[in-house]
Amino acid sequence: LQLFGTLVWILVAATRIPLPLLQGWVMFVAVTSWFLSIVFLCVFLFGYANRIAVNWNQTDFLFHGTTFVCYFGAFLLQAATTSLHHFPRKFNSTAQEKILSDHEYNISIAASV
């Protein structure tokens, strides 16, 4: 989870952000999931799991279930942003600048996957 969260974080951060609200959620999910995964890893590596009276199986299930739902929502928002690739940035302008360049479009596809 740390590897994929870091990869999404890097790919989304590498693009120009045409829709900050949508891609802000993607970054929030990637960074928060990455951070909480590191916290869980440290809890188990340093032996705090034995000292804290929590049902760790249920906690792990809830964490991964919540992470799945948040990542699925982030995927939908990132894919929606990617699908706007062919629309012009400004509708009233004579210049036909796209929302995402071809390179950013490819990075956005990778971040969606």
Cβ-based neighbours of 87, under 8 Å, separated by 6 or more: 98, 99
Q: Which residue has the higher pLDDT, 11 or 70?
A: 70
Question: Which of 32, 9, 31 minimizes the C-alpha distance to 78?
Answer: 9
Residue type, 6: T
CB 1 within 8 A of CB 33: yes
Task: Give residue-wise pLDDT tens across range 10-26.
Answer: 776 776 666 666 677 87
Amino acid making up residue 104:
E
What does the pLDDT look like over 90-102, one tens digit per residue?
A: 656 566 667 677 7
Number of domains the chain contains: 1
Structural domain containing residue 34 = 1-111
Reply yes or no on whether the pLDDT at 1 is more than 90.
no
pLDDT of residue 61: 95
